[in-house]
Amino acid sequence: MPPNDVYTETHERSTRLDIHELVRQLVGHLGPTLVATSANVSDRKLPYRWAKADGTEPRVDSQRRLQAAHRVWSLISDAEGDNVARAWFIGANPRLGEEAPVFCLRDDRIQDVLAAAKAFVEGTDD
């Protein structure tokens, strides 16, 4: 599958997921603290509430960040595995000025994070 198809597929997968299921998957793979940080909320219990089928929904700006986090997690996890994907989220990243991607998502630098994830998976310097 050409690389662009992978990016389109992860985008479509993340977009089509119900927000509660999307958060449930993120909590299961990244944990509630990283999910809360990615969504730019301080309450680490919120992701658990969002993950329930009948739970509350995150604010629109948080949903946007969570969809990007899921998209990036899916892209890296599919290519490199869950452990590498989690490490990628929390580690200093040279493509992001040595900031961890989770903090860049929190700060709404979604395009930067997506570009860094794409470059990581492709093994390029872009």
Query: For 9-68, what is each residue's pLDDT tens digit?
Result: 888 888 899 999 999 999 999 999 999 999 999 999 999 999 999 999 999 999 999 999
C-alpha pair distances (Å), 43 with each of 9, 38, 71, 104: 31, 12, 23, 18
Q: What pLDDT score does 15 carry?
A: 87
Segment 85-98 shows an average pLDDT of 97
pLDDT at 83 over 90: yes
Q: What is the mean pLDDT of the chain?
A: 93
Point out the least confidently predicted range of 52-56, 89-93, 121-125: 121-125
Q: Which residue, among 41, 34, 32, 43, has the nearest Cα to 60 in the 3D structure?
A: 41
The whole-angstrom distance between residue 62's C-alpha and the CA centroid of its chain comes to 11
- What's the total number of domains in the chain? 1
Q: What pLDDT score does 6 carry?
A: 81
pLDDT at 2 over 50: no
Q: What pLDDT score does 126 carry?
A: 61
Domain, as residue range, for 84: 3-122
Q: What pLDDT score does 4 carry?
A: 62
